[in-house]
Every structure is written in structure tokens, then in C-alpha cells.
Amino acid sequence: MIKRLIIVALLGVVFIGCKAKRQTTYSKGTKQQTVAAKKKSTHNKYETKGLYPLPEDTGKFKRFTISSVDEYITTFSEIAQNEMKAYGIPASITLAQGLLESGLGKGELAVKTNNHFGIKCHTGWQGDYDFHDDDEKGECFRKYNHPMYSYRDHSEFLSSRARYAFLFDYRANDYNKWAKGLRQAGYATDKRYPQKLIYLIEKHQLHKFDKGVRLNSSIASAEPKKYENKVHVVQKGDTLYSISRRYFISVDEIKRINNMNSNSLAIGQEVTVKTELSKK
């Protein structure tokens, strides 16, 4: 399946990417709007470390129509296994997260952005993006021209952030520990997130895709992101959400860093935020 996807991509039908010149965004209850996408392409970063090659970005969006859970699994199981081989993340976990976060491949966000893991822009994201209502209205989400790049970004997202590092100490086929560990690390706010992943894995026997996958002797690890703390002084009209948009950091992360139990802010209050260090 992955070979077929890549061949089709190279023939000019399937494309991924982050350098479309324009993108149309939608937000529930708001007018259709157009924003300028960032011009910097990031496709090259996906072809490093000797991993299986992904097609080069040509800037064209490929819309996927998934009609059933079985079709979703058939379409993406080999991609999940290749990611497991390269990064050590159980294919069952990746598939279950993809199913759950994408609304079984039919969710609004997945359809319009090919973002199957609900990964938000966050600090340092240089690719295309779109806005979607989630915890807050009109939040910024990463956008891909093909879902396989969403799968790769998911692997790099987990392997490059220190808070998920302990997960890679678990056996690669221990989906129970991985599911609970993701919640423990703060991947999702839903208290039943682990149970939902485990239910999908066992209902659809996704654990079978963990078997027979030979991990690379040297598991790929994305270059760790380097951050610095900055202090934002609250001004009139500031909200946690507006601050999160400004610094590309989630509201939950701001609250965690500042030990906040509520969303209340006071003018003059100092709020610590993380920003990615620029590369020299």
C-alpha cells in the first residue's frame, strides 16, 4: 500500500506539503476567510535519517475520502508499521490515535487539512496551517497535502519532546502502557483517552500490526526542540487564548508552566511562555 501511494505521488497525483501559496480556512460560526501560508517548504526534513522516502511536496492538496474503519486501517496500516520500524512507536497506537483524532478519517479537520492527529501549530511550525474550532474557537492546526506526512509529523512530534521520552522505555508492543503514558504526558485532556485507544486497538485487532515489525537498530530520534522561557506581561484585553495564539503554545501548556488553576488574568500579571530558540 505504501509503495502504491508513493508511486502515485511521484506521478503527480498525491502530494504533501507545506508551501501552498494560499489556503482557505473555515471556522464554525464565522465567515470563510483566506490567509497567507508561510512560504518555507519543510518536505526535506522528512527524507532524512535513512527512513523510507516520502514524495516531494509540489504544493497540491490531496483530499481523501474514507468510507469505513476497515478502509482507514487498510490505507494507513503499512505507513504506521514503517513509522514503528523507524521510531519505535507501536503501530497499533499510531493507528488508534489516527482513528480517534481524525473522527475515523471523516472529521472536518482531517478532511480539510489531512491532519489525522490534531497536532496544533505550536512554536516553530514552518509549514502550512488552517484554523479550526477545538478547545477554543479558530485554533491553529498544521496542514498537510497528504496524510502520510501527518503520520511522519506525529512520529517526530512524540520523539522530539522531552515530556514523551519515557514512553520509549516501554516495549514497542505494549500498547496498554503507551496509551496510559500518552495521557500521563499530557497528550490529551480527555481522562478516558487511554481507554478509548485501547478499545479501538482491541476492537479492530490493531495490535496485530505490532507483530513482526523489526525495529531499526538505531531508532530515529528527531532533533530535540530547544526552547527558552519568556515573560509576557498581561495587557488589557489579553486572554490565555490570545496569548497562546501569539506564542504558538497551548492554553493547557501555559497553565501548566505557570501553575494556574483558572483562566483568569490580571493586568500587569507576568505569564511565562515557552518560545523556540531561533537557529543561528
* 135 DSSP assignment: S
Of 53 and 12, the one with more pLDDT: 53
161: β partners:
none
| Residue 237 within any structural domain of the chain | yes
Q: Are residues 198 and 232 in the same domain?
A: no
Enclosing domain of residue 249: 227-276
| Residue 221 within any structural domain of the chain | no
Q: Are residues 33 and 162 in the same domain?
A: yes
| Residue 244 within any structural domain of the chain | yes
Tell me the average pLDDT of the chain: 78
- In this structure, what C-alpha cell is assigned to residue 58? 509540489
| Residue 134 within any structural domain of the chain | yes
| Residue 219 within any structural domain of the chain | no
| Residue 216 within any structural domain of the chain | no
Predicted pLDDT of residue 126: 79
Q: Are residues 123 and 93 in the same domain?
A: yes
| Residue 253 within any structural domain of the chain | yes
Handedness of CA 7, 13, 16, 20 (dihedral sign): positive
Q: Are residues 198 and 239 in the same domain?
A: no
CATH of the domain at 250: 3.10.350.10
CATH of the domain at 161: 1.10.530.10
Q: Are residues 201 and 254 in the same domain?
A: no
Q: Are residues 237 and 116 in the same domain?
A: no
Question: The cell 474514507 sits on which residue?
Answer: 66
Predicted pLDDT of residue 143: 94
Q: Are residues 23 and 114 in the same domain?
A: yes
Q: Are residues 45 and 137 in the same domain?
A: yes
Predicted confidence (pLDDT) per residue in 208-264, tens digit:
999 988 887 656 554 555 567 789 999 998 988 788 767 767 777 788 889 998 889
Q: Are residues 177 and 258 in the same domain?
A: no
Strands, E assignment, the chain: 22-25, 33-36, 129-132, 139-142, 227-233, 270-276
Segment 53-66 shows an average pLDDT of 81
Cβ atoms of 175 and 201 closer than 8 Å? yes
Q: Are residues 187 and 240 in the same domain?
A: no
First to last CA, the chain: 40
Q: What distances in angstroms separate CA 86 from CA 56, 109, 178, 230, one per listed residue?
A: 19, 27, 17, 34
Q: Are residues 105 and 184 in the same domain?
A: yes
Predicted confidence (pLDDT) per residue in 137-173, tens digit:
788 999 999 999 999 999 988 988 878 889 999 998 9
The total domain count for the chain is 2
| Residue 217 within any structural domain of the chain | no
Of 59 and 275, the one with more pLDDT: 59
pTM: 0.66
Q: Are residues 52 and 138 in the same domain?
A: yes
